[in-house]
């Protein structure tokens, strides 16, 4: 009988140990699941961060590429703007000789001189066009465009609607698709 009691006690102890081991393994499996979930969350967070950094890096590369292309494309902008003064002088010369054209045509030396000036002006215009500098075409009667024109003064005028170009004082130019110098104009206004 004593053996039986010892046997029963032994079985109870073993049963309790199995329950404890079972509870520990349940706790271990729960903590492993939590650990795995935490690791998956960290992996997803890192993947997201990597995607964002990759996209940011790609956007930066594209922006720098565009800035480099623009720097090359517009590198001569200031040089071209400075040469506009030379072109303006050619236009002034041609404008001033119109009143004495008969005298110039009568003297072969003067005619050759002014023909040479006209050839230089044409060559400069050709070079400008070759490198992306173009004249902004505007004349009296055109509507005022604040993106291309600079109003030097307003003139009261009942014959034209308000905001219309009355006179062009100085020609404007573009460099590729950017404004190099605006057209200087007078603009009509109502009395």
Residues 12-66: tens digit of each pLDDT = 656 655 555 555 556 667 778 888 889 999 999 999 999 999 999 999 999 999 9
List phi, psi (to 5°) of 167: -150, 145
Angle between helices 108-130 and 77-97 (to 10 degrees): 150
What letter does residue 99 receive in the DSSP assignment? G
Matching residue, tokens 């008969």 = 102
**Is residue 84 very low, low, confident or very high in pLDDT (cuts 50, 70, 90)?**
very high
- Provide the pLDDT for residue 30: 77
Residue 104, pLDDT score: 86
Helix (H), strand (E) at residue 179? strand 178-181
> Fold for domain 134-191?
Nucleotide Exchange Factor Grpe; Chain A, domain 2 (2.30.22)
In angstroms, how far apart are the furthest CA atoms of the chain? 153
Domain parsing of the chain, residue ranges: 1-73, 75-131, 134-191
In this structure, are residues 186 and 163 in contact, taking their beta carbons and an 8 Å threshold?
A: no
- Report yes or no: 133 and 80 within 8 Å, Cβ to Cβ: yes
Cross-strand pairs, 178: 175
Please tell me the distance from the alpha carbon of residue 71 to that of residue 60, in angstroms, as a whole number.
Answer: 16
Tell me how far apart the alpha carbons of residues 184 and 55 are, in angstroms, rounded to a whole number: 45
Q: What is the rounded average pLDDT of the residues 61-86?
A: 93
Q: What is the pTM of this model?
A: 0.67
Token representation of residue 177: 């698709």
């Amino acid at each position: 009988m004593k053996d039986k009691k010892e046997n029963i006690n032994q079985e109870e102890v073993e049963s309790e140990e199995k329950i404890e081991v079972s509870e520990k393994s349940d706790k271990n499996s729960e903590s492993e699941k939590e650990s795995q979930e935490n690791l998956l969350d960290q992996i997803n967070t890192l993947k997201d961060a990597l995607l964002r950094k990759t996209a940011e890096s790609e956007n930066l590369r594209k922006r720098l590429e565009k800035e480099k292309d623009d720097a090359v494309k517009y590198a001569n902008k200031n040089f071209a703007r400075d040469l506009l003064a030379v072109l303006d002088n050619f236009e002034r010369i041609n404008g001033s000789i119109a009143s004495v054209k008969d005298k110039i045509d009568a003297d072969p030396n003067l005619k050759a001189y002014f023909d040479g000036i006209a050839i230089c002006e044409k060559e400069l215009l050709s070079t400008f066009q070759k490198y992306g500098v173009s004249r902004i075409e505007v004349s009296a009667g055109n509507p005022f465009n604040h993106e291309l024109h600079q109003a030097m003064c307003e003139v009261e005028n009942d014959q034209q609607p308000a905001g219309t170009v009355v006179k062009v004082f100085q020609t404007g130019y573009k460099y590729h698709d950017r404004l190099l110098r605006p057209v200087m104009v007078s603009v009509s206004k109502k009395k």
